[in-house]
Chains A and B, each alone.
Chain A
């Protein structure tokens, strides 16, 4: 394989001839329209009567463009994106795996794409059956008993899960006051606990990068509602004492919540329900290959053990008479509705397509391949970058910038230099327990060839950090826009476009 050097570094994405794209406001000209309404075929109504008082007739300064101008504007912007469809997207913790075209074909089937959530249950039996089937598949994969698909994404799944725990403990007489969270956790965990009315207590990690059992033993008492644990944790390490952890939490009447963000390291190999988890969420947009970020809405189903089923959000889809399904809303212990209608239905279709297309053997192989790819990168880069924890990795590996920091090159610099080599950066400065973290998650989607290209780029950057640190510190050089002043952008954000002063 040819060596990648600064001289032959491939440029990032293709760009339009124009080096910058004006705002819609700046390319507006009066009187243009990007739409045309059909002739009115119903009696005209009086707007004055329909709209509340104070409604504006016009919005001054609103951009006016033709359809093709609008299409070109967004198409040009879209060419500046970096996407999984262009190359490796090693953003650790985010699981940026390939979203198969098959998922999209199925999601566009007319009967699924054109359904409306306000149709009566009797005429949406297919959609309800699909959701029941996905619930059952997720329950089987996680080893849990019941699933709600409602939450819109991972963080809402967390909140739903913790509200279920609160409702359960309140029903037992005391919702309790605290939630324990390891210091390696995602930032959403403490935010969730606080919003659900709990105080957060930090649980230390030990030299292995795992939960320190003595710290858990000391902190776990009758005031603790739950332990929120990510397994494997954000270092990509499996909590090998998980049975003992579950035992300690349960012995004091607490519940074990699992953040399922890293479930892609377990599918087909280990089931949280079998290692003591009471409640967990899944990220369909990570583990089950539905679009992620700007590509589509998330979906954060919550899975529970049977004793928590009464608290799940309503409506529940239940078996009705004569083999049909119906919606049940009369469930007095339920925490209520957490999301309009049924959640992000289009994602359920894609996730089920992914699960059924892979089958149980295929799902197990995606897990094995994700773990293999992460360990290949770890092994290939451990001579170039410091590895803070020696514990074996699962689906992602975390390095630190300790070796490069001696030359004044930090993780953010290395990430920006990686863009010059045509890759999306890894996750920077997370998890927080590793100073100067480089968090790399290749997923199962990548070939050996693509991994080798990434490894070559990372090794080249490690050499540059030794021989030409200023080159890395000033990166990126080959992108459309060079290094931005992040601190100034955060301190003095410009949040609103203002027209240029006349004259």
Chain B
């Protein structure tokens, strides 16, 4: 699966879509869903919650493990993808679009530039795959 060119990525394998009117969607990458395996449960914040960059925003549970999802940027949650609670498998099927997790009103758009673009992220995961046995 390709990584959208206009998204930004973290070393923890979250993505942030290009903001529109200061709002951006957040999700986890194809690499992350692949590593986790079948996702069976998702826990997300409520609309109105304030997210702090680098702090956990929720959890995803797969048949292998429970993992935290970290906020790639700071902002206030304006919408939550409620369909994920009934259909967590969406994250395995369509991680970069249909399985967005939250939409946030960014506190500040500038920190986005510090995240990886698609080219750098693809190089990063290639290194992760060969770095460890």
B89 contacts across to A, CB distance below 8 A = 487, 491
- Separation of A388 and B64 alpha carbons in the complex (Å): 19
Partner of B133 from the list A187, A386, A486 (CB cut-off 8 Å) is: A386
Query: B49 in the interface, Cβ–Cβ < 8 Å?
Result: no
- B23-66 CB mask vs A (1 if < 8 Å, else 0) is 00000000000010010110000000000000000000101111
What would 13 A/B residue contacts be, using CB atoms closer than 8 Å? A187-B65, A388-B132, A400-B132, A429-B64, A429-B65, A434-B133, A490-B38, A490-B41, A490-B61, A490-B63, A491-B41, A491-B88, A491-B89
B133 contacts across to A, CB distance below 8 A = 386-388, 400, 402, 434
A490 contacts across to B, CB distance below 8 A = 38, 40-41, 61, 63
- A421-445 CB mask vs B (1 if < 8 Å, else 0) is 0000000111010110000000000
Residues of B that sit less than 8 Å from A by CB: 35, 38, 40-41, 61, 63-66, 88-89, 132-133
Measured CB to CB, the nearest residue on chain B to A403 is B133
Measured CB to CB, the nearest residue on chain A to B88 is A491
Q: Shortest beta-carbon distance, B94 to chain A, in Å?
A: 16
B88 contacts across to A, CB distance below 8 A = 491
- Separation of A176 and B132 alpha carbons in the complex (Å): 35
B65 contacts across to A, CB distance below 8 A = 187, 429-430, 432
- Size of interface on A: residues with Cβ below 8 Å to B: 17
A428 contacts across to B, CB distance below 8 A = 64
- Separation of A32 and B38 alpha carbons in the complex (Å): 45
Partner of B35 from the list A412, A430, A435 (CB cut-off 8 Å) is: A435
A402 contacts across to B, CB distance below 8 A = 133
B41 contacts across to A, CB distance below 8 A = 490-491
Within 8 A of B (CB), among A221-273: none
Within 8 A of B (CB), among A467-503: 486-487, 490-491
- Separation of A402 and B130 alpha carbons in the complex (Å): 10
Q: Shortest beta-carbon distance, A249 to chain B, in Å?
A: 23
B35 and A487: CB pair below 8 A? Answer: no
Q: A187-B66, A486-B63, A487-B63 are in contact. Are A434 and B132 (CB under 8 A)?
A: yes
A429 contacts across to B, CB distance below 8 A = 64-65
- Separation of A388 and B63 alpha carbons in the complex (Å): 23
Measured CB to CB, the nearest residue on chain B to A387 is B133
Q: Shortest beta-carbon distance, B125 to chain A, in Å?
A: 12
- A182-218 CB mask vs B (1 if < 8 Å, else 0) is 0000010000000000000000000000000000000
Q: Shortest beta-carbon distance, A410 to chain B, in Å?
A: 9
Most buried by B among A400, A429, A430, A491: A491
Closest 10 A-B residue pairs measured CB to CB? A487-B38, A490-B40, A388-B133, A386-B133, A429-B64, A486-B63, A400-B133, A491-B40, A402-B133, A388-B132
B35 contacts across to A, CB distance below 8 A = 435
- Separation of A412 and B132 alpha carbons in the complex (Å): 19
Most buried by A among B88, B89, B132, B133: B133
Q: Shortest beta-carbon distance, B35 to chain A, in Å?
A: 7
- Separation of A486 and B35 alpha carbons in the complex (Å): 16
Using A400-B132, A487-B89 as known contacts, list a sample of 13 further A-B pairs with CB atoms less than 8 Å apart, ordered by residue number in A. Answer: A187-B66, A388-B132, A400-B133, A432-B65, A435-B35, A435-B132, A486-B38, A487-B38, A487-B40, A490-B38, A490-B40, A490-B41, A491-B41
- Separation of A135 and B66 alpha carbons in the complex (Å): 36
Most buried by A among B35, B61, B132: B132
Q: Shortest beta-carbon distance, B62 to chain A, in Å?
A: 8
A412 contacts across to B, CB distance below 8 A = 64
Q: Shortest beta-carbon distance, A63 to chain B, in Å?
A: 31
- Separation of A187 and B59 alpha carbons in the complex (Å): 14
- Separation of A366 and B94 alpha carbons in the complex (Å): 51
Q: Shortest beta-carbon distance, A426 to chain B, in Å?
A: 14
- Separation of A187 and B61 alpha carbons in the complex (Å): 13
B66 contacts across to A, CB distance below 8 A = 187
- Separation of A430 and B65 alpha carbons in the complex (Å): 9
Measured CB to CB, the nearest residue on chain A to B87 is A491
- Separation of A490 and B40 alpha carbons in the complex (Å): 6
B61 contacts across to A, CB distance below 8 A = 490
- Separation of A429 and B39 alpha carbons in the complex (Å): 15
Measured CB to CB, the nearest residue on chain B to A432 is B65
- Separation of A432 and B66 alpha carbons in the complex (Å): 10
Within 8 A of B (CB), among A370-410: 386-388, 400, 402
- A412-423 CB mask vs B (1 if < 8 Å, else 0) is 100000000000
Measured CB to CB, the nearest residue on chain B to A434 is B132
Q: Shortest beta-carbon distance, B2 to chain A, in Å?
A: 21
Q: Shortest beta-carbon distance, A204 to chain B, in Å?
A: 11
